[in-house]
Amino acid sequence: MNADRSKVFSRFQLRPDEGPELYQPHKSMVLIGLNVSYRWRYHDLCVFYQAIASRISDDKRTLDTFVSEHKAQAQADTADEWTAVQQSRLREQIYIRDIEIRNMEAYADQLFMVGLWALVEQQIAKTLVEAERVLLPGKASTTSHRWNTLSKRFESLGIDFTKLKSFDGTNEARVLNNKIKHSGLVDVELGAFGRFQHLVGTNIDQIDLALQHYADCTFEFVGHLQETTDGILA
pLDDT, tens only, 88-103? 787 888 888 889 988 9
DSSP-assigned beta bridge partners for residue 185: 203
Nearest to 112 by CA among 202, 210, 34: 210
Threshold 0.75, pTM exceeds: yes
> Is 68 strand, coil or helix?
helix
φ, ψ at 185 (rounded to 5°): -125, 155
Helix, strand, or coil here: 185? strand
Residue 156's pLDDT is: 95
End-to-end CA distance of the chain: 48
Please say whether the beta carbons of 157 and 135 come within 8 A.
Answer: yes
> pLDDT tens digit string along 174-226?
999 999 999 999 999 999 999 999 999 999 999 999 999 999 999 999 999 99
Residue 203 bridge partners (DSSP) = 185
pLDDT at 50: 94
User: Measuring CA to CA, which residue among 117, 109, 118 is closest to residue 203?
Assistant: 109
Q: Where are the domains of the chain?
A: 24-232
Is pLDDT at 146 greater than 80 in this prediction? yes
Residue 192 three-state SS: coil
Instruction: Supply the Cα-derived Rg of the chain in whole angstroms.
Output: 23
Confidence of residue 234 (pLDDT cuts 50, 70, 90): low
